[in-house]
Amino acid sequence: MILETISNILLIVGAFFALTGAYGLFKFPDFFTRVHAASVTDSIATILLFLGLILRTDFDLVAVKLVFVLVFVLLTSPTASHALAKSARHGGVATLAESNNKDNTDG
C-alpha cells in the first residue's frame, strides 16, 4: 500500500518532468538550451518513471529487466545528447549570445 503510494507519486512527478521537457523543446530560444531541456528532463523522467514501475513489481525478473533498461537508457540518452550537441557545434549552430552579438555588429 505504502509502496503503491510512493510509486504513484514517482510516476506523477516523472510524467510532469517529461511534459516540461517536451514543452521546453518548443519554448527555449536556441538549440543548445533546447538540448539541455530535453536531455536533463529525459534522464530524470526516465529514472522516476522506472523507479515507480519497479516498486509495482514483485522484485523478480521483471524488476531486474527494468533496472537493465534504466541503466541502458541512462548510459545512452545523455551520450546521444552530448554527441548531438557536439555535432551541432561543429556544424556551425550558434548559441543565442553569439547570434545576438552578430546581429549587433551587423546592425
For residues 39 and 37, what is the distance between their CA atoms, to the nearest angstrom?
A: 6
CB proximity list for 36: less than 8 A, separation 6 or greater: 28
**Does 6 sit near another protein (CB under 8 A)?**
no
For another protein, the closer of residues 43 and 97 by Cβ is 43
Per-residue mark of binding to another protein, 59-78 (x: CB under 8 A): --xx--xx-xx--xx-xxx-
Crossing angle between the packed helical segments 31-54 and 61-90, to the nearest 10 degrees: 180
- Burial of residue 49 (number of CB atoms within 10 Å: 0-12, 13-18, 19+): buried
Q: Which residues bind another protein (CB under 8 A)?
A: 7-8, 11-12, 14-16, 18-19, 21-23, 25-26, 31, 34-35, 38, 42, 45-46, 49-50, 52-53, 56-57, 61-62, 65-66, 68-69, 72-73, 75-77, 79-84, 86-88, 90-91, 93
